[in-house]
């Protein structure tokens, strides 16, 4: 990432979700509660607005990594 300044615009999201992550707090037999929810649709919309429409909506000002820590 240090050799390519554009890489600083990368984002990573890590959590206990299956692919339809914005639909449930439950994965397998475990309910991770409301704090595990993430509005992926809203994040994707903001990302696409920035990259496809050139709308600076602050998405790049947010931390590069979002992690849900279990326990």
Q: Is the pLDDT reported for residue 71 higher than 80?
A: no
pLDDT band at 68 (very low <50, low <70, confident <90, very high): confident
Top pLDDT among 52 and 68 is at 52
Q: Supply the pLDDT for residue 20.
A: 63
Beta bridge partners of 37: none
Contacts by residues 45-50 (CB-CB < 8 Å, ≥ 24 positions apart):
47/11
The share of the chain scoring above pLDDT 70, in percent, equals 90
Top pLDDT among 4 and 12 is at 12
The sign of the torsion formed by the CA atoms of 41, 45, 46, 52 equals positive
Q: Supply the pLDDT for residue 22.
A: 62
**Alpha-carbon span 70 to 58, nearest angstrom:** 28
């Amino acid at each position: 990432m240090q050799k390519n300044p554009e890489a600083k615009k990368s984002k990573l999201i890590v959590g206990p979700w299956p692919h339809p992550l914005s639909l449930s707090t439950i994965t397998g037999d475990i309910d991770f509660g409301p704090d595990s929810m993430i509005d992926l649709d809203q994040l994707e919309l903001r990302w696409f607005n920035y990259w496809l429409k050139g709308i600076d909506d602050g998405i790049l000002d947010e931390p590069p990594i979002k992690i849900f820590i279990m326990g």
